[in-house]
Amino acid sequence: MAIADTKERSNVYETARQSAALRAAHYLFGGEPKIFSDNLAQGLSGVAESKIAAMIDSVPTASATTCILRSRFTEDHLATARSRVNQYVLLGAGLDSFALRQGEALSDLLVYEVDDPPFLEWKRQRIAELGLVEPPQLRYVPCDFEVTTLPDALAASDFDPDSPCFISWLGVTQYITVEATKATLAWAASRPAGSEIVFTYVEGNNHAVSVKESLMSQVGDLTFYSPEQMIALLKQAGFSQIEEMTEERAHELFFRDRTDGLIAPKSQRLLSAIV
């Protein structure tokens, strides 16, 4: 089946496949130690291993690391949050493989993958074709944001709005308006105490030019932020416990003394905020 019925949506979906392919490139060909290991990324993406190998030379190094760093940051924070949450909401889940990789180790953690209905259907077909087992803790939450709100979509599942949750929102804010970002942050900040959101944004710095020229720009105009603007939006939403992953901090934690030439992302930034 086609996973999109418009050119714009097709390009958005293609970024999900490219993100998975970049995670696969690191898993298959990256140096040690791995920053993030996603052994299912290549299969889910459907991109041939030879093409993934070719991507290593065609994608700028700082862009190639965005997908692996944001996944590592998210899953590290989720692991820390497990003592206070048992619901994990992935907004714009794409080809994330967390639930599939964890399987029985999910224990009492319920995973809610929120994305457009056609894409979720295509992803489930890929999972079936690969012979992977969907754990019983995994829920798919179809949501066409043009006609359905996030709370309404989650209400159609067994998501408990009165219990704390962990939210990941990766690779999305650059594609939507400031008002739409504010609305999602407000929803996240209204979750019960102990809830947490981890998300990305693209900083409008000197390196943003290369971002505009990348696949991202094929879906339309992009929205950029300064760190000060994004932190102000978080505070406006009601968050006070905020953690930044700056380029300098990422370098110190993950990229110092690497032998494979990987460097910290130059434009994509990560933030965590706890209710």
Q: In which band, very low, low, confident or very high, does the pLDDT at 13 lie, cut at 50, 70 and 90? A: confident
Confidence of residue 41 (pLDDT cuts 50, 70, 90): very high
Q: Answer for the pair 192, 114: CB distance below 8 angstroms, yes or no.
A: no
Distance, in Å, from the CA atom of 70 to the CA atom of 169, rounded to the nearest integer, reads: 10
200 neighbors 173 (Cβ within 8 angstroms): yes
Which structure tokens are listed for 67?
């997908």
Is residue 30 assigned to a domain? yes
> What pLDDT does residue 64 have?
84
Rg (CA), the chain: 18
What per-residue confidence (pLDDT) applies to 220?
Answer: 63
Mean pLDDT of the chain: 90
More confident residue, 3 or 78: 78
Q: Strand, helix or coil at 153?
A: helix
Determine the Cα–Cα distance for residues 93 and 141; give it in Å rounded to an integer. Answer: 10
Residue 243 counted as domain residue: yes
pLDDT digits (tens, 9 = 90+) for 186-222: 999 999 999 999 999 999 866 555 554 454 445 567 8
| pLDDT of amino acid 225 | 95
Task: Quick: pLDDT tens for 104-155.
Answer: 999 999 999 999 999 999 999 999 999 999 999 999 999 988 888 999 999 9
DSSP E strand stretches across 44-179: 87-91, 110-115, 138-142, 166-169
Cα separation, 161 vs 221, whole angstroms = 33
Q: Is position 83 within any domain?
A: yes
Evaluate whether 271 touches 230 at the Cβ level (below 8 Å): yes
Confidence of residue 5 (pLDDT cuts 50, 70, 90): very low
pLDDT at position 6: 39
Residue 145 has a pLDDT of: 83
Question: Would residue 1 count as lying in a domain?
Answer: no
pLDDT for the residue 218: 54
CATH of the domain at 159: 3.40.50.150
Query: Does some domain include residue 77?
Result: yes
What pLDDT sits at residue 207?
Answer: 56
pLDDT (0 to 100) of residue 62: 77
CA torsion sign for 44, 143, 268, 209 is positive
267 assigned to some structural domain:
yes
Report pLDDT for 210: 54
Within 10 angstroms of residue 79's Cβ, the number of other Cβ atoms is 10
Instruction: Give CA–CA dist 213/202, Å, rounded.
Output: 14
| Residue 2 domain-assigned (yes or no) | no
Structure tokens at 181: 């970002």
* Separation between Cα atoms, residue 250 and residue 270, nearest integer Å: 10
Domain presence at residue 88:
yes
Q: How many domains does the chain have?
A: 1
87-91 and 268-274 as β-strands: parallel, antiparallel, unpaired?
unpaired
Whole-structure pTM value = 0.91
Give 141's strand partners: 114
How far apart (Å, rounded) are the C-alpha atoms in residues 165 and 78? 10
DSSP code per residue over 59-97: S-HHHHHHHHHHHHHHHHHHHHHTTT--EEEEET-TT--
Residue 8: pLDDT over 50: no
Interior angle at CA 39, CA 33 and CA 36, nearest 5: 35
The pLDDT value given to residue 199: 98
How does pLDDT run across 156-166, given as a tens digit for each residue?
A: 999 999 999 99
Each residue of 231-248: pLDDT tens digit? Answer: 999 999 999 899 999 999
Q: Are 172 and 95 in contact (CB under 8 A)?
A: no
Question: What share of the chain has pLDDT > 90, as a percent?
Answer: 77
Dist. CA 242–CA 239, nearest whole Å? 7
Q: Which of 80, 16, 68, 67 minimizes the C-alpha distance to 37?
A: 68
Residue numbers of the domain that contains 99 = 7-274
Q: Which residues partner with 245 through β-bridges?
A: 270
